[in-house]
Every structure is written in C-alpha cells, then in structure tokens.
Amino acid sequence: MSNPLKLCLIDDHVIVRNALKGLIEKLGNYKVSHQFNNGKELTEALPFADEPDLLIMDLNMPEMDGKTTMQWMKTNNVKYPVLILTLDTTDKTIIELFRLGVRGYLPKHTTSDLLKKAIDDILTSGYHHNELLTKALITDQQNVNDDQKKVLEKITDREILFLQLVCDEAEYTYDKIAEKMNVHRRTVDGYRESLFEKFNLKSKTGLVLFAIKYQIHTIS
C-alpha cells in the first residue's frame, strides 16, 4: 500500500476532532498527522516539517476562526488546500470562502460518503463543490480560453456585467446590482434566471464560481 495521505484537523472541539480523526482514517488511505484547536495554533506551527496534503478546518473557532485563518494564509502566501466544515452554508459565506482560496466546504451534518468524496475531489482534482464542478477551474490556459469563447457566445454584454458585479468583492445585493446597472430589479432577476437556465446553475454561489471558472470576472 502507498503511503497514506496526510490530513490536518483544525477544530476547537476536541471530542468532535477525535471522532472526525477516527472516521477519516477508516474512510481510506488517510492519516491525520496534525491537530490544532484554532487557526492561531495552526499559524504558530508553520512551517511544517512533515507537510499535510489537506487541511480540514472548522469555520467557527475562538481566537482565530476559519475565515480569519484563510485571510492570513492568503496574505502570507501559505498554499495548503483547505476543506471547510461549517454550520453556516449561506451563499454569502460560501462565496467569501471561495474568494479566500478554500477548495471545498461541507455542512457539519454531512455523510461519511460525502466527506470522503470531498477529500478525494480536492486531493485529486483541486476542488470540491456540490453544485458546480469546480475541479474544472484547474485547467490549462488554452482550455480556459477555448471554453470561455463558447460561453461568451451564449451570453450578452449585460449578462457579463451582471456576473462581474456578482463577483465583486463589495458583495453587492441584487438590488444594489440593479442600481449599479441602472435597471429595474426585475431586469436583474431576468439576467440571473437566464444564466441559471443556460448553464444549469442554481444559486448566487454557482454564478460566482461559474464566472471564476471561465474568467468572466476579469473581462474588461
């Protein structure tokens, strides 16, 4: 058997963390090599002598929560893939996490099968997301350009602007997007529903990941 893939757990609940360790090590060829109570402990332990392949991190923790830890990692160019476990699965939170570089998220009530799939997706393909195949974000530039051309043939200039505003770090509401585009809110709803139908998307999170995947958010 090949060497086990090494995982790092960051969660302030010791009982939960130990239970998760036991579960993960039964799911496949994985070994939990590091454990921390919060992001502060994690950052103080860097750099690792024995580097993990994946960090599995709780979102809500004292001292330094998951979001703050991701911000620190982004600022300090620490590039471990991160899977977030959270009770907060609102679009706003998920979008923020992906913007910060998270590779996947799961609700804490997830099944063991889905946990294994998320771990495997991230370790083999780069990303896990329930709705959109974000593993396609990891492609060569030529494929991105070719796929982007096909997508752009199906969407209007106004839909492109709508997607760019959805992706904006200001996190505009649909009402604010309507104001920015100088159109009625119903018109913005029309752009959203049109994109949902064309590309089988289902949420604001899906729109953001779709725009990132095809680099629509960078078109000037």
Q: What is the 3-state secondary structure (H, E, C) of the chain?
A: CCCCEEEEEECCCHHHHHHHHHHHHHHCCEEEEEEECCHHHHHHHCCCCCCCCEEEEECCCCCCCHHHHHHHHHHCCCCCCEEEEECCCCHHHHHHHHHCCCCEEEECCCCHHHHHHHHHHHHHHCCCCCCCCHHHHCCCHHHHHHHHHHHHCCCCHHHHHHHHHHHCCCCCCHHHHHHHHCCCHHHHHHHHHHHHHHHCCCCHHHHHHHHHHCCHHHCC
Q: Do 125 and 21 share a domain, yes or no? A: yes
**0.75 cut: is pTM over it?**
no
pLDDT at 88: 72
| Average confidence (pLDDT) over 117-124 | 88
Q: Do 182 and 159 share a domain, yes or no? A: yes
Question: Could you list the residue range(s) of the whole structural domain that residue 171 is in?
Answer: 141-218
Number of domains in the chain: 2
- Domain boundary (105, 130, 155) is at 130
Q: Do 122 and 19 share a domain, yes or no? A: yes
Q: Do 149 and 69 share a domain, yes or no? A: no
pLDDT at 218: 76
* CATH code at position 126: 3.40.50.2300
| pLDDT above 90 coverage of the chain, percent | 55
How confident is residue 130, by pLDDT bands cut at 50, 70 and 90? Answer: low
Q: Do 123 and 23 share a domain, yes or no? A: yes
pLDDT at 29: 94
* Mean pLDDT score of the chain: 86
| Average confidence (pLDDT) over 25-34 | 94
Q: Do 84 and 159 share a domain, yes or no? A: no
Would residue 135 count as lying in a domain?
A: no
How confident is residue 121, by pLDDT bands cut at 50, 70 and 90? Answer: confident
| Average confidence (pLDDT) over 190-218 | 85
How confident is residue 115, by pLDDT bands cut at 50, 70 and 90? Answer: very high
Q: Do 118 and 158 share a domain, yes or no? A: no
Would residue 27 count as lying in a domain?
A: yes
Q: Do 14 and 122 share a domain, yes or no? A: yes
Q: Do 109 and 13 share a domain, yes or no? A: yes
Would residue 172 count as lying in a domain?
A: yes
- Domain boundary (99, 130, 161) is at 130
Q: Do 34 and 123 share a domain, yes or no? A: yes
